[in-house]
Structure 1
Amino acid sequence: MDDDVATPAVPPATPRDGRDSRWERHRAERRAALVDATIRAIRTHGAGVGMDDIAAEAGTSKTVIYRHFDDKAGLYRAVAERIDGRVVGNVGAALGGAGRPPADTRELVASTVEAYLALVESDTEVYRFVVNRPLVDRPLVDDPVGGTVDEVTDRLTGLLLESLRATATDPSRARTWAIALVGSVRAVADDWLATPEAERAPRATVVDSLTELAWHGLAPVLAAPTTTPAATS
């Protein structure tokens, strides 16, 4: 390069105003506080809670809430993401890390079902709020519930793949089974909650029933020996 050609000067980066950072942090904290208030209102008034109840619990107005979430769907999404984070955390802890031996798969299924139903039972109205979407009157493009189901399904698929490595079973089936397991747990949980509490089966019974169903379907496959067809003479 010719030494006489001047290199264009790069303007220094404009330092970020500390006030912007503080304002963003304040907004994030305020949003979190409003989500906390919404969850408290749901627990007090039930899944059909209204915006007036939420505003009263938050000690503010609906206008202020919409300023932070744009609309009711935005508030619902924020609550759903908070609760779904708990679902992923609880179920993820039950699933543990990859690498469990196939013999532990039944325990894995049981602990996963137990983790999901325990959360549902401990926070029933909040779960109903997330599933039934009383504040949302239009389809959501970025459905937080669907994202959570996908994440749990991915984790379960990985663990089933670990178990299938010792068998001759087609690994592509693992995701199908994971989807079926997650879907059945969600469907049973919804029906379980819809049953009047006095008539509802104990959680342990539901966990055992689901585990038995899943295990009797998976056990023959997971226990199948890896065999090679005998060569024909």
Structure 2
Amino acid sequence: MESSSAHPGSDGRAARWAGQRERRRREFVDAALLAIAEHGPEVTTEQIADAAGVARVQLYKHFDGTTDLQRAIADRATEAITTALLPIWEPQGSALQMISVAVDAHTGWLADNGDLYRYLTRHSQIGRTGGQDAIVDVKTIIARQLTQVFAFYLAVFGLDTRIADVLAFGVVGLVDSSAANWLESPKGITRPQLAELLTRWIWHILDDSLRTAGVEVDPNLPLPPPPRFEPPG
């Protein structure tokens, strides 16, 4: 008769292997980020393996092919962007301060991680849920967060909250497309100058929406802070 202690032992070994595999996956993704920073967005699997100090075949003991590795890199990038954009999850101050801090965080991350951003855009449709690529995923996360923030302030001013998502997705599209184009062709515009331009444009969009509804807001006066919205986990 089979010993009852065999199953717990097997479960323990399986749990240890799963934990070790996950740890190694994260280490390989760390190496991939270093390889992307060194070799650019066209980094090869061999270069990632070299950065990890292993043979290429070792990678595929922990990833189910290239697509799985790319997806893991995209997931890590999403985590990093979410952390960098903490001001969006915890807005405070005046309208201009909120906009300026959020735009500065976004453009700052992009400027510091240009090759990673290019890697994500060049490896779109990398097996993420519903076929969405990582950049679309991140933009959607940010836009949904801003929708909550805009809806809160529209309600404070007694306005129709149904336009919150239109405003949010429009603003995110403006920032992302403008910043991505600047990344490839800055034409002498510095990052602080870009951030200043985007901040001003965003405020004009929001100000127009408020004034159309008969509300005037001083962009330099503090606004009541919204409830704390948890970033996606």
Task: Verify same fold: TM over 0.5.
Answer: yes
> What TM-score, normalized to structure 1?
0.79
Q: Is the 8 A contact 1:72 1:135 kept in 2?
A: no
TM alignment of 1:139-154, pairs within 5 A: 141=131, 143-154=133-144
Distance 1:104 1:85, change over 3 A: same
1:22 aligns with 2:16: yes
Paired residue secondary structure (2:28): helix
Q: Which of 190, 201, 206 is the matching residue for 1:213?
A: 201
Q: Is the 8 A contact 1:48 1:134 kept in 2?
A: no
Show structure 1 runs of 5+ residues with no match. Answer: 1-13, 227-233
Q: Is the 8 A contact 1:43 1:125 kept in 2?
A: yes
Partner residue in 2 for 1:42: 36
Paired residue secondary structure (2:60): helix
Question: For structure 1, which segment, 156-165 or 137-146, has the greater mean C-alpha deviation from structure 2 after superposition?
Answer: 137-146
The superposition leaves residues 25-72 of structure 1 with CA deviations (integer Å, 9 ceiling, x where unpaired) of 100010001101111111111111111211111122222212322121
Matches of 1:182 and 1:108, distance apart in 2 = 14
Distance 1:142 1:187, change over 3 A: closer
Aligned-residue RMSD, C-alpha: 2.7
Paired residue secondary structure (1:68): coil
**1:97 aligned partner, one-letter code:** E
When the two structures are aligned, how many residues end up with a matched partner? 208
Matches of 1:127 and 1:145, distance apart in 2 = 8
1:32 aligns with 2:26: yes
Matches of 1:110 and 1:65, distance apart in 2 = 41
1:71 aligns with 2:65: yes
Q: Is the 8 A contact 2:63 2:69 kept in 1?
A: yes
Identity %: 27
- CA displacement at 1:97 relative to structure 2: 3.4
- CA displacement at 1:79 relative to structure 2: 0.8
> What TM-score, normalized to structure 2?
0.79
